Amino acid sequence: MKHNIVETIIGAVVLLVAAGFVAFAYNSSGVRAVSGYELIARFERVDGVAVGSDIRIGGIKVGSISRMELDPKTYLAVVHLSIEPSVKLPADTVASISSTGLLGDKFLALVPGGDEKMLPPGGVIQYTQASVSIENLIGQFMFSQGGADKKGEAPADAPKL
């Protein structure tokens, strides 16, 4: 009987230590959603970002994506942003979808402009740049190499200089 009690106590201690590590990792990672005022941005494509993705200015997290939906009239992706209340953005701010590296995580980058007028809560960011698909770029590069024939000569329909 004493053997089972010792094993139970050791198991409970291991579970408490594991829960402590999970809580520490969650608190130090900055993964939680930012509560603040809402802005809206419309993009042609939002590949790689999702609800909860970071919003950064100069590499510093200032918000998170709170909701995404498709506009049935324009077929644009409508992204709802939650921005920290201490961060005020000019009306000519640019929103673009960027990545941390060639194959890294994607996030929404904001580049504040120089306008003196600030975006109000619920305002719309007018200037956006959609995400770039690395697969499409590679495909375009691969298939654009077929323009010249195998001898290195220009195609027949190329203009003569």
pLDDT in tens, 110-155: 999 999 999 999 999 999 998 777 777 788 888 887 655 555 555 5
**Radius of gyration, alpha carbons of the chain:** 25
Structure tokens at 111: 């580049």
pLDDT given for residue 99 in this prediction: 85
Region of poorest pLDDT, from 44-53, 84-93, 141-150? 141-150
Average pLDDT of the residues of the chain:
84
pTM for this entry: 0.66
Write the CB contacts of 85 (distance below 8 Å, at least 6 apart in sequence). Answer: 36, 37
